[in-house]
Amino acid sequence: MGEDVEAQEFSRADRTRYREQVHRCLDVFERMLSEHQFHTDDPMTGLEVELNLVDEHGDPALKNAEALAAIADPAFQTELGQFNIEINVPPALLRESGLGTFEATLRRSLNDAEARSSQVGAHQVMIGVLPTLAPGHLSPSHMSANPRYQLLSEQILNARGEDIRIDITGPERLITTAESILPEAACTSTQFHVQTSPEQFAAYWNASQAISAVQLAVGANSPYCLGKELWRETRIPLFEQAADTRSEELKAQGVRPRVWFGERWINSVFDLFEENVRYFPALLPITSDEDPVAVLEGGGTPSLAELRLHNGTVYRWNRPVYDINDGTPHLRVENRVLPAGPTVADLIANAAFYFGLVRHLAESDRPLWSQMSFQAAEENFERAAEDGIDATVYWPGVGEVPATELVLRRLLPMAHAGLESWGVGADERDRLLGIIEQRCLLRVNGASWFVDRMHQRAGEDRYDALRATLLEYCERMHSNDPVHTWD
């Protein structure tokens, strides 16, 4: 949701000054890329997970401030809605049992946080869209207290000039409006970070785009929203619509959306930052006192604060990240495709599949994206979000194929090879990728399990059924048994 900011109003002069500073930052970023200023040795990987909070009945618990105070761990942070929090897991090297470290750290942190937050009536749930959310929970008054959320909401609504309209059609249809961006809070994700050199960034981003659909197919976990059965990964259309700054007329003119898959394969990380600056007006035109040219020419590392803030308000499903660690800049691909959950074991299996597959494809002698149109990748993405484990996708050399068959026959061996290149041991590869294999063989993921359980409760009141199914989900989530074993 961008950097922490203070509540304020913006003048035309603020916007002019910000645009000038963003372009100045972009020029400096281009110089840094050409001068090889970036840390590229021994790349790290990272993980963030957004969580929902519920009460003992399975209804949203609007208590993130109380929960964070009880947890008292700086790894946990506020999120947009009062029923959200986020955990940032420390980065790790995959060759040093990084996946096992992620798993152990996440389980330990979540168990400790659950014990503490439950004392204030807030239980944690890892699921893409909290199914027991009702329209009343998306009132602007239920936004977290951090000023940046209110400011961002105001700017998006001002840019639209009208309320946000949500219209999603799946097995059922949801049509609603909102007077704030709070519907975004319904979308809780898992974010994987992979550090890369400037020279390799384009390959890793292109590979991430190409495999996003398959990630969604095997990892979908968001089938209900506001009482309706919608897409298997409803987060995708919900987030796209909730953060849309365009009026209907601007959509008809072909203006690009703020939540964006993209429109082309790239040749450099600079392409993405330059597109963000060229296509999208500022939402938060806040300038710093830094002169990035002076800092760079003085031998320092510029923060590029305006460019980073602007980049944080363009919501690509695979986002480029410029960051600084111990005074040295680095680049990351932030993969934002997947929902949270269902279990830590499932989540880390998803991580293993992504990290392994993206490395293998990025370092392949014949790039996948040279054999596949960008439009095909985007169409795959939409299909997988809608159909989940039952999706059919296009793949070069294969044509139209069930996503599960593609994973079993082609992609799992690639993921194994990629993890081996990272230095991940055979036992860890077999265990985690075995979870993906079983999901595909049994055609079960979080979304399909939840929908099946709900259909078994078809005669009940919809929200009673959602609460009962969510509480059952929570019980199994805490067992850490992968979702394909939930009979």
Q: What is the pLDDT of residue 397?
A: 94
Print the SS3 string covering 204-239. Answer: HHHHHHHHHHHHHHHHCCECEECCEECCCECHHHHH
Please provide the DSSP assignment of 233-289 as one string. BTHHHHHHHHT----HHHHHTTPPPSEE--SS--SSHHHHHHHHHHH---SS----S
Residue 7: pLDDT band (50, 70, 90) is: low
Query: Looking at the predicted structure, is the pLDDT value of residue 412 above 90?
Result: yes
Indicate the average pLDDT of the chain: 95
Average pLDDT of the residues in 112-130: 97
Task: Provide the whole-model pTM.
Answer: 0.96
CA dihedral over 357, 361, 362, 365, signed as positive or negative: positive
Do 204 and 175 form a contact (C-beta atoms < 8 A)?
Answer: no
Tokens matching residue 135: 């329209």
Q: What is the pLDDT of residue 4?
A: 56
Q: What is the pLDDT of residue 407?
A: 98
Q: What is the pLDDT of residue 2?
A: 43
Residue type, 105: T
Share of the chain above pLDDT 90, in %: 92
Do 218 and 440 form a contact (C-beta atoms < 8 A)?
Answer: yes
Q: What is the pLDDT of residue 9?
A: 81
Dist. CA 57–CA 75, nearest whole Å? 27
Which residues are within 8 A (CB) of 16 and not within 5 positions of it... i.e. 6 or more apart?
none
Secondary structure of residue 392 in the 3-state scheme: strand
Dist. CA 257–CA 333, nearest whole Å? 20
Q: Which residues of 121-152 are buried (b: 16+ CB within 10 A; e: fewer)?
A: ebbbbbbbbbbbbeeebbeeebbbebebbbbb
Dist. CA 385–CA 337, nearest whole Å? 10
Q: Which residues of 65-88 are buried (b: 16+ CB within 10 A; e: fewer)?
A: bbbbebbeeeebbbbbbbbbbbbb
Do 311 and 298 form a contact (C-beta atoms < 8 A)?
Answer: no
Query: Looking at the predicted structure, is the pLDDT value of residue 145 above 90?
Result: no
Q: Report cis status (omega within 30 of 0) of the bond before 342.
A: yes
Residue 5: pLDDT band (50, 70, 90) is: low
Which residues are within 8 A (CB) of 130 and not within 5 positions of it... i.e. 6 or more apart?
52, 54, 60, 83, 186, 188, 470
Q: Kind and range of the H or E element at 114?
A: helix 98-117
Average pLDDT of the residues in 115-124: 97
Residue type, 422: W
Dist. CA 413–CA 357, nearest whole Å? 9
Question: Counting beta carbons within 10 angstroms of the beta carbon of residue 180, is it exposed (0 to 12), middle (13 to 18) or buried (19 or more)?
Answer: buried
Residue 303: pLDDT band (50, 70, 90) is: very high
The 10s digit of each residue's pLDDT in 14-48 is 999 999 999 999 999 999 999 888 877 788 999 99
The 10s digit of each residue's pLDDT in 189-214 is 999 999 999 999 999 999 999 999 99
Dist. CA 295–CA 327, nearest whole Å? 12
Residue 135: pLDDT band (50, 70, 90) is: very high
Tokens matching residue 278: 């060229």
Q: Residue 398 gets which letter from DSSP?
A: T
Q: What is the CA radius of gyration of the chain?
A: 22
Q: What is the pLDDT of residue 1?
A: 41
Do 424 and 443 form a contact (C-beta atoms < 8 A)?
Answer: no
Q: What is the pLDDT of residue 39?
A: 76
Q: What is the pLDDT of residue 8?
A: 73
CA 416 to centroid of chain Cα atoms: 23
The 10s digit of each residue's pLDDT in 386-395 is 999 999 999 9
Q: What is the pLDDT of residue 6?
A: 62
CB atoms within 10 A of CB 382: 16
Q: What is the pLDDT of residue 40?
A: 77
Q: Which of 126, 101, 86 is nearest to 45 (CA)?
A: 101
Q: In this predicted model, which residue has the larger pLDDT, 2 or 142?
A: 142
Residue 101: pLDDT band (50, 70, 90) is: very high
Tokens 């919608």 correspond to what residue? 230
Residue type, 165: R
Average pLDDT of the residues in 294-305: 96
Q: What is the pLDDT of residue 226?
A: 97
Which residues are within 8 A (CB) of 185 and not within 5 positions of it... i.e. 6 or more apart?
79, 80, 81, 83, 84, 138, 143
Give the number of residues written for the chain.
Answer: 487
Query: Looking at the predicted structure, is the pLDDT value of residue 410 above 90?
Result: yes
